[in-house]
């Protein structure tokens, strides 16, 4: 959804299988878990980024967060990443 409220289809995510239990938004970004890492959607730029290197496993089973961290539950453990990390990229 764009900032104006328009729904847009995203072809650039490819054919990723998104785990419906692994979706979370902090209001600025949407995080979606897949079998090949996580996808991060920046609402302002309307761009997707694949997250792999920061995770203990490519299989992301759950995502949640709070005002400071995003937690990625993977098949090999949990990754806790500060939300400010995404601002530095």
Q: Could you please report the per-residue DSSP string of 24-38?
A: EE-SSEEEEEETTEE
Q: Which residue has the tokens 């290197």?
A: 53
pLDDT at 12: 52
Residues β-bridged to residue 79: 72
Q: What is the mean pLDDT of the chain?
A: 88
Q: What is the mean pLDDT of residues 81-87?
A: 92
pTM: 0.83
Query: Residues 36-72: pLDDT tens digits?
Result: 999 999 988 888 899 999 999 999 999 999 999 999 9
Contact 68, 82 (CB under 8 A): yes
Q: In terms of pLDDT, which residue wins out, 84 or 5?
A: 84
């Amino acid at each position: 959804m764009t900032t104006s409220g328009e729904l847009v289809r995203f072809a650039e995510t490819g054919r990723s299988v998104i785990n419906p239990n692994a979706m979370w938004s902090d209001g600025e970004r949407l995080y979606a878990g897949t079998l090949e890492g996580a996808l991060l959607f920046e609402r302002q730029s309307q761009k997707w980024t694949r997250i792999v290197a920061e995770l203990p496993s490519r299989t992301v089973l759950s995502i949640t967060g709070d005002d400071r961290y995003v937690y990625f539950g993977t098949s090999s453990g949990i990754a806790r990443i500060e939300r400010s990390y995404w601002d530095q990229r």
